[in-house]
A and B are shown apart, each in its own frame.
Chain A
Amino acid sequence: MTPPAPFGARLDDVVVRFGKQRRMSADGNTFREDATTALDGVGLTVRPGTITGILGRNGAGKSTMLSLLAAFTRPTSGTVRVGTEGAQEDPWENAWVTSNVQLVRESGDLQDDEKLSETLKYYADLRPYWDVDLAGRLLDMFEVSPRKKPAALSRGKKSAVGATIGLAARAPLTIFDEVYLGMDAPTRYAFYDEILADYAEHPRTILLSSHLVEEVERLFEDVVVLDRGRVLLAETAEEMGRRGFSLTGPASAVERLTGERRILHRQQLGATVQVTLEGAPDDGEAATARDAGVELGSLPLQDLFVRLTDPARKGTS
């Protein structure tokens, strides 16, 4: 059985509000908690067949948005569509969509009190394109025994199981929501390598949310930045790279080259100035900069992300 073509997704004006709740405080009294808005008018198109990065600060709405795509949550208003190009459907209670969408949550969704092999059997039944050999090979690589109960596994090993499930499911839409938690650096890099290798062999749509922007930015073809329940940016990683650059060199030369550009950040060390500017350098500017002894630098996605989601920023550009 060959899987369907990679799935795309589309969200239009999606709002998710979690209702008022009765909660119990530490002293035993109950109190009402106000409704919170997790997503506040999200519009987004996920291109099928891409590895798309989902970035956002804590509470930005990443997990809520990702659970909508897998029908773990229903929008308060707005529409969610998931599926192959031209055949996208509402995922809610939709067997075709849900069997083809694998969301791996940070919690892993494992059956804690049963051997891991039981959880794997469950996913093998659930996912039509499950690759049992790949699952076994990945668990070996991550050094996780299927005879153990998930409750006995460390945080990092549980994440490795989540990574295994996500990859072995070979789902046309595969979502990793902060699956790296607790993994040590070599394990994370092994995970990234497996994503790339398997994605190249079995093209599908992969959404990956992470706070380790520097580690994962090169995996992305598209990037989505969520901020306070809204989409701040959704574009290709390449377009994002053209949003800013830096100039480092003698103050006067740097100032001349800066011209009318908006300065995002300025640092001075003696006579040397470094400015981070909005936009991309023109063709001629690289040569002009070099002749003036000014070094041109790229703006890491991490820095751009930090500046874009700075709560103290003045408006959005």
Chain B
Amino acid sequence: MFDGPEPIYVQIAQQIRSQVLAGELAEEEQVMSTTQFATTFRINPATAAKAFTGLVEEGVLYKRRGLGMFVAPGARERLLDQHRTAYFDDVLAPALAQADVLGIPADEIVAYVHARRHGTGPDGPAATDHTTNQEQS
């Protein structure tokens, strides 16, 4: 867990964003405390706290005094907007660059996209694949 090149707090924040995006963390749902995070992933509590501070500033989480951190109302919509904008540059562009390297023609890619999107629903393997790619990038 959290083996990427970015600082761990950046990766933690990314993981929580992904969970909110995927609906695994619902709005107004409580997230793990810094202590739970620290002991679960064996990291310094200050590192976990730093991730949470960033997410509060972004409006993804908010703090209820004495209770802990909760997913902010409207957080998922805001994240969806941001990620939809970034999707083409961050996810699709590298995949297409790789297709160029492999000499896969554009119409083959288009045909694949059509087949996959019609063949499987939004919760099918295609959707899962995209989330995984995003987490890794």
B-binding residues in A (CB < 8 A): 50-51, 189, 192-193, 196-197, 199-201, 218-221, 237-238, 241, 245, 290-291, 293, 296-298
Contact = CB atoms under 8 A, between A and B. Distances in A.
For chain B, what secondary structure do more than half of its interface residues adopt (helix, strand, loop), or is it mixed? helix
Interface in B85-137: 93-94, 97, 101, 137
A200 B7 contact: no
7 smallest CB-CB distances across A and B, nearest first, come from: A200-B35, A298-B5, A218-B43, A221-B46, A221-B44, A196-B38, A296-B5
B31 interface: no
A84 B137 CA distance: 44
A61 B102 CA distance: 55
A199 B45 contact: yes
B39 interface: yes
B39 A193 contact: yes
A221 B44 CA distance: 6
Nearest to A200: B35
Interface of B: 4-9, 34-35, 38-39, 41-47, 93-94, 97, 101, 137
B65 to A, nearest CB: 18
Interface centre among B4, B43, B101 (most CB of A within 10 A): B43
Given A219-B43, A237-B44, A296-B5, A291 B35 contact: no
Contacts of B94: 290-291
Given A221-B47, A290-B94, A192 B38 contact: no
Contacts of B97: 291, 293
Contact of B34 (A200, A238, A241): A200
Contacts of A201: 35
Contacts of B137: 290
B5 A245 contact: yes
A245 B5 CA distance: 8
Given A245-B5, A296-B5, A297-B5, A193 B47 contact: no
A133 B9 CA distance: 34
B9 to A, nearest CB: 8
A264 to B, nearest CB: 16
A207 to B, nearest CB: 14
Identify which of A51, A290, A296 gathers the most chain B CB atoms within 10 Å of its CB: A290
A173 B39 CA distance: 21
B5 A220 contact: no
A291 B45 CA distance: 35
26 contacts: A50-B46, A189-B42, A192-B42, A193-B42, A196-B44, A197-B39, A200-B34, A218-B8, A218-B41, A218-B42, A218-B47, A219-B42, A219-B43, A220-B44, A221-B44, A221-B46, A238-B9, A245-B5, A290-B137, A291-B93, A291-B94, A291-B97, A293-B101, A297-B5, A298-B4, A298-B5
Contacts of A238: 7, 9
Contacts of B44: 51, 196, 218-221, 237
Nearest to B98: A293
B35 A197 contact: yes
A228 B45 CA distance: 31
A220 B35 CA distance: 15
A305 to B, nearest CB: 18
Contacts of A200: 34-35, 38-39, 45
